[in-house]
A and B are shown apart, each in its own frame.
Chain A
Amino acid sequence: MPQDLKLKAAQKRGIHQLGGDELVGWDEVTQGVILTSFEGDASDIAHKKAEERNYSDFNSYTATVAPWRVIKPVFNRDICIDCQNCWVWCPDSSIISRDKQMLGIDYDHCKGCEVCSQVCPTNPKSLLMFSEYEELDVALSQWPEKKKKEKK
């Protein structure tokens, strides 16, 4: 399933809104608003995949920063050719891809900018924009047919 990778992080500590629900007093905030990105020693994280890293609650990996999205990209696995174009262009690292296989969208961080859909080269596109409130299976059932090339 596309969201598996994010769910791993969510199960660990829960995806939360940036800023958090636990509002502490002035005596408990960090000195200088300096925030650690990882729990514990992070010396050997460079070669680890994101879902294997021990991100702290201060890191935006464990926080959703997408509540203001109004349209969302929907991914159609049946058409995708795993070209990785969307993964390269996404400005928010919200295309989840492993071993050069496109897995889906990280909806906790996607802002709905539509770049992935624009750069998708398949016919019809494997990524299309729908209303934030559209159910995924409904969106997939409305997928357009392949466009025929017009003869000149």
Chain B
Amino acid sequence: MPKEKFELNEREVWDGNYAASQAMRQAQVDVMAAYPITPSTPIVENYGSYVANGYVDGEFVMVESEHAAMSACVGASAAGGRVATATSSQGFALMVEVLYQASGMRLPIVLNVVNRALASPLNVRGDHSDMYLGRDSGWIQLDAYNAQEAYDLALCAFRIGENHSVRLPVMVHQDGFVTSHTAQNVYPLSDEEAYNFVGDFKPVDDMLDFSRPVTYGAQTEEDWHFEHKAKQHKALMDSRKVIDEVFAEFKKLSGREYKRVESYMMEDAEVAIVALGTTVETARVAAMELREKEGIKAGVVSPRVFRPFPFDLIRDALENVKAVGVMDRSSPGGAMGALFNEVSAALYTTPNRPLVSNYIYGLGGRDCSVEDLKEVFRDQKANADAGHITTPIQQFSGLRGPKLGFFETKRS
């Protein structure tokens, strides 16, 4: 137990980084191995100060790189401790090799990812390149749109990942600077409420159990590898039920409700935007204003859980609209945006098959305004009225220079 009691007010003014670090303190993380990188540095820095000042009974491990940070987290988690860290961008990229190790070994590490662009050119601002880089890594990925959610979801992350039927690592994403460095009202739980919600860490196959020595990191070739990967994928898919249960329990405790897919003004929506991160809140403002001033029945759908991808709930949320604009905040590298592809695949299995178009936007922290998103909604309205996509299927929003877009709809 920690020596010192941290004083908390019912309402605090915290940025996303501070909110996440408070969740790490309240969960009483045993080991945090970390290497600092903008914009996520304050999360691990604050945890270090909580350890030094007696607010956490844990270990802060200084390492030489993010690869080493996640490696040390894997070791500490396999040893049987509650483990968390944070990173962004290039640091995340350096961790990638070990992310796959962590999920393959079914270690419930919590990684706070403060989303930032990937070089080159070097950029410290927020986009979703790093989040997308982790999408096949076998981790659960939760997405916070503001500081309160970064705090709430970090607490939920421990509960979800450490559940013995899940046993998977969890990323909690927040947007670099816009969330991580913007002070907002945050209503924290008391230390007792938060810890009781997260619960004591109950190890599985821990290496410090000397009565039952275990091997981690076995090699499997073509005769075994496929079965292990399939089992891991099944666990990730099955975690949906546990995520729903944890969100329901968190609502009872805090009054704040989370769903694997969040819907805003979707009851009668004719057109919709699908987005992630802080863009969701901007899109909600745009939808509300368009309904009031231009009579466009606009709504917003946003995955709260990016992995496991909510294929079923996305379909349920969007199947009755006419046109959907899917926002991808990552350079797609010669393809359609990842979120567009996944949303399109889900909607292809509906009878109505809404028109879906793709917007690449906000790279390297480029601002995405309410007006930008109103334009996306207006495009969708035009598509809905015309009955086909009237623009290139992939467009760039907020880009200087001549309009950039790719592919047209095939029409007979």
Given contacts A19-B221, A32-B105, A32-B205, contact A42 B213 (CB under 8 A): yes
Q: Which residue of B lies closest to A45 (CB)?
A: B213
Binds A, one of B86-94, B187-195, B223-231: B223-231
CA A33 – CA B224 in complex, angstroms?
10
User: CB within 8 Å of A: which of B199-247?
Assistant: 204-205, 210-218, 220-221, 223-224, 226-228, 230-232, 234-235
Q: Which residue of B lies closest to A58 (CB)?
A: B215
Question: When the two chains form the complex, which single residue of A24, A32, A35, A42 contacts B227, counting CB atoms closer than 8 Å?
Answer: A24
Question: When the two chains form the complex, which single residue of A31, A35, A38, A41 contacts B231, counting CB atoms closer than 8 Å?
Answer: A31
Q: How many residues of A contact B (CB 8 A)?
A: 19
Q: Which residue of B lies closest to A46 (CB)?
A: B210
Q: Is the Cβ of A26 less than 8 Å from the Cβ of B231?
A: yes
Q: Which residue of B lies closest to A27 (CB)?
A: B231
B interface, by DSSP: helix, strand, loop or mixed? loop
Question: When the two chains form the complex, which single residue of A26, A34, A41, A43 contacts B216, counting CB atoms closer than 8 Å?
Answer: A34
CA A119 – CA B53 in complex, angstroms?
56
Q: Is the Cβ of B211 less than 8 Å from the Cβ of A42?
A: yes
Q: How far is the CB of A113 from chain B (nearest CB, A)?
A: 20
Q: Is the Cβ of B211 less than 8 Å from the Cβ of A41?
A: yes
Instruction: Confirm or deny: B107 has a beta carbon within 8 angstroms of a beta carbon on chain A.
Output: yes
Q: How far is the CB of A62 from chain B (nearest CB, A)?
A: 13
Q: Is the Cβ of A33 less than 8 Å from the Cβ of B223?
A: no
Q: Which residue of B lies closest to A29 (CB)?
A: B227
Q: Is the Cβ of B211 less than 8 Å from the Cβ of A32?
A: no
Q: How far is the CB of A121 from chain B (nearest CB, A)?
A: 36
Q: How far is the CB of A144 from chain B (nearest CB, A)?
A: 40
Q: How far is the CB of A26 from chain B (nearest CB, A)?
A: 4
Contacts of B284 in A (CB 8 A): none
Q: Is the Cβ of A29 less than 8 Å from the Cβ of B215?
A: no
Contact with B along A25-65 (1 / 0, CB 8 A): 11101011111111001110000000000000010000000
Question: When the two chains form the complex, which single residue of B167, B210, B211, B220 contacts A33, counting CB atoms closer than 8 Å?
Answer: B220
A-B contact pairs, 23 of them (CB 8 A): A19-B221, A19-B224, A23-B224, A26-B231, A29-B224, A29-B227, A31-B204, A31-B235, A32-B104, A32-B106, A32-B107, A33-B217, A34-B106, A34-B205, A34-B214, A35-B214, A36-B212, A36-B213, A37-B213, A38-B212, A38-B213, A43-B211, A58-B215
Interface residues of A (CB under 8 A from B): 19, 23-27, 29, 31-38, 41-43, 58
